[in-house]
Structure 1
Amino acid sequence: MFSPAGRSAMVGGRLARRVYEQLKQDLLAGRYPAGEPITVVDLREEYQVSKQPVMEALHMLAADRLVQIQPQVGVRVSRYTLEEVEAFFWMFSRTEGGMAHRAALRRTDAQLAELAGLCDTLEALESRAAAGGTGQAGSGPAYVRGNRSIHTLIHRMADSPLAADISHDLWDLSDFLIATHGGGFTGSLVERNRGHREVYEGIRDRDPERAEQAMTQHILDSPLASHP
């Protein structure tokens, strides 16, 4: 049997996780601009919870570097300098390039077929955008989901759960920076889909150097990344 205190802690933990997950998705989607204050009172009202789970969620988000908690001041959405953002994408491009390198060596035929299908799905978005007279990737949910699915699959191909977990955290920060510091994905769907296809071809041909180079360049073509 759980003690009353144990049950309270368990419920509090569930509530904190719920607030954390929802607020994190809002942050990754760009609902809150960089530097915007977030008040505990507003979050309590929005989620209909007490102060404790809100504070627990905010501390978890601070550990993710998505918010900054300043004692006696308050909580703000994290804001980073251009130099910090550029350095992040430089590092991130190398990390993802390494995952693509391993994926080319370790992928299965079934995984390769799945990757081809995901590339086809995003290229279908390209065709619909062209038919509608627009060629911009934007930050539409279909593209964001498809893009993340491609990279998640490449992580699975690399067959390294520890590396994939670390890279997953970097992807969250990447999406956050694009949404809050760059206004969403920019550039044409043609260009971004070409990057995915070039990574696919390197993995298909079991050419790790080609896959790594294509992935590195694909990340560096992100709207906030500079080319060293």
Structure 2
Amino acid sequence: MRDKPESATAASTVFESLRRDLINGRFAAGEKLAINTLKAHYRVGLSPLREALNRLAAYGLLQQENQRGFRVPGVSRAELDDIAGMRRELEGMALTRAMQHGDAQWESELLAAAHRLKRADEQPTPLEEWELLHTRFHRTLVAPCGSPWLLRFIEQLHDQFDRYRRMAPAVPGVRAELDAQHQELVSLALARDIEGARALLQSHIRISHDVALGAVPDA
């Protein structure tokens, strides 16, 4: 009985590690994962590894093949368009609700998240650290929307979208434009300018979408 909590902890740990690696492009799109290689790399037993792989398949970051293991999902223009479209809809809804219900504590947390992201933009920052700050900013922006399910869907869409975005080659000049939009989003959110904030968020996602298309062959 005492092994179950340890196994659950190991499964959660490898789930998070493998989730980050899948989003960061450590494995190629369409690649079949070798169980023994994964066990050695993540230093985990078969049972917690299987649990993590099953969770990632249910989450959409892996494809489970009947009796044949797990494979990294491929990429396609249609899927990326769908992900970006759902982001625009759901994040626009969440942002509206956040501005309607956000209190002074939310305003303070949003300003702090934006400040940390801006500092990371202005000085040499490891990419993984910047990505964490970027994710935290977007989560904070919509946090008080009042719907845990809506936030859960948005987080899943972000992970799927980021898998494409991080595989795509960098586009010179776009990062500065997106960084400026982060700060402008804060100003509009604090002013409770719902129409302006939603329009800017739509533009923000469209620009990122254009960059992420670089991960799709012949897009």
TM-score tier, shorter chain, comes to 0.7 to 0.9
CA distance 1:68–1:208, shift in 2 (3 Å) = same
CA distance 1:217–1:45, shift in 2 (3 Å) = same
Q: 1:29 aligns with which of 24, 27, 35?
A: 24
CA distance 1:184–1:18, shift in 2 (3 Å) = farther
The answer to whether the aligner puts 1:170 opposite 2:165 as a matched pair is no
| CA distance in 1 between partners of 2:170 and 2:60 (Å) | 19
2:69 partner amino acid: G
The answer to whether the aligner puts 1:204 opposite 2:199 as a matched pair is no
CA contact (8 A) 2:30 2:71 kept: yes
| CA distance in 2 between partners of 1:225 and 1:202 (Å) | 28
1:112 partner amino acid: E
Q: 1:105, CA displacement in angstroms?
A: 1.4
* C-alpha distance after superposition, 1:51-85 (max 9, x if no partner): 22222111111111111121243322111211211
Q: Which has the larger radius of gyration?
A: 1
CA distance 1:61–1:108, shift in 2 (3 Å) = same
2:187 partner amino acid: E
Q: How many residues align?
A: 212
Q: 1:173, CA displacement in angstroms?
A: 1.9
Percent identity of equivalent pairs: 25
Kindly report which structure 2 residues correspond to 1:104-143, keeping only aligned pairs within 5 A, or say none. 104-128=99-123, 140-143=127-130
CA contact (8 A) 1:62 1:69 kept: yes
SS of 2:70's equivalent? strand
| CA distance in 1 between partners of 2:5 and 2:123 (Å) | 47
CA contact (8 A) 2:166 2:212 kept: no
The answer to whether the aligner puts 1:218 opposite 2:204 as a matched pair is yes
More divergent stretch after superposition (112-121 vs 52-61): 112-121
> 2:138 corresponds to which residue?
151
Q: 1:92, CA displacement in angstroms?
A: 1.0
Q: 1:148, CA displacement in angstroms?
A: 0.8
CA distance 1:83–1:112, shift in 2 (3 Å) = same
**Runs (5+) with no aligned partner, structure 1:** 1-5, 130-137
**Runs (5+) with no aligned partner, structure 2:** 215-219
2:116 partner amino acid: T
CA contact (8 A) 2:113 2:140 kept: no
The answer to whether the aligner puts 1:77 opposite 2:72 as a matched pair is yes
SS of 2:123's equivalent? helix
> 1:45 corresponds to which residue?
40
1:210 partner amino acid: G
Give the TM-score taking structure 1 as reference length. Answer: 0.81
> 1:134 corresponds to which residue?
none
* C-alpha distance after superposition, 1:152-181 (max 9, x if no partner): 11222323323222222222222223224x
| Structure whose residues are more often helix by fraction | 2
CA contact (8 A) 1:178 1:184 kept: no
CA distance 1:184–1:158, shift in 2 (3 Å) = farther
CA contact (8 A) 1:119 1:193 kept: no
> 2:83 corresponds to which residue?
88
CA contact (8 A) 2:90 2:150 kept: no
SS of 1:75's equivalent? strand
